[in-house]
Amino acid sequence: MMKEKGLLIVLSGPSGVGKGTVRKELFSQPDITFEYSISMTTRVPREGEVDGVDYFFKSREEFEKLIEQDRLLEYAEFVGNYYGTPVDYVRDTINDGRDVFLEIEVQGARQIRDKFPEGLFIFLAPPSLSELENRLIHRGTESSHVIANRVETAKKELEMMNLYDYVVENDQVKKASERIKAIVVAEHLRRERVEARYKKMLEVK
Ligand X SMILES: Nc1ncnc2c1ncn2[C@@H]1O[C@H](COP(=O)(O)OP(=O)(O)OP(=O)(O)O)[C@@H](O)[C@H]1O
Residue 120 sits at φ, ψ, to 5 deg, of -110, 115
Residue 14 annotated as binding site: yes
Residue 39 sits at φ, ψ, to 5 deg, of -85, 165
Segment interacting with ligand X (CB under 6 A) among 19-27, 31-39, 82-90, 91-99: 19-27
Order of all β-strands in the sheet with 120-125: 35-36, 100-103, 8-12, 120-125, 166-169
Order of all β-strands in the sheet with 56-57: 56-57, 40-41, 81-86, 72-78
Which of 71, 139, 188, 191 touches ligand X by CB under 6 A? 139
Which of 93, 100, 103, 121 touches ligand LQESDW3C by CB under 6 A? 103
From the list ligand LQESDW3C, ligand X, none, which binds 21 (C-beta under 5 to 8 Å, kind-based)? ligand X
Asked if 135 touches ligand LQESDW3C (CB under 6 A), the answer is no
Q: Which of 72, 4, 9, 13 is closest to 42 using CA atoms?
A: 72
By CB under 6 A, name the binding residues for ligand LQESDW3C.
15, 19, 39, 43, 74, 76, 78, 83-85, 103-105, 107-108
* Binding-site positions for ATP: 13-20
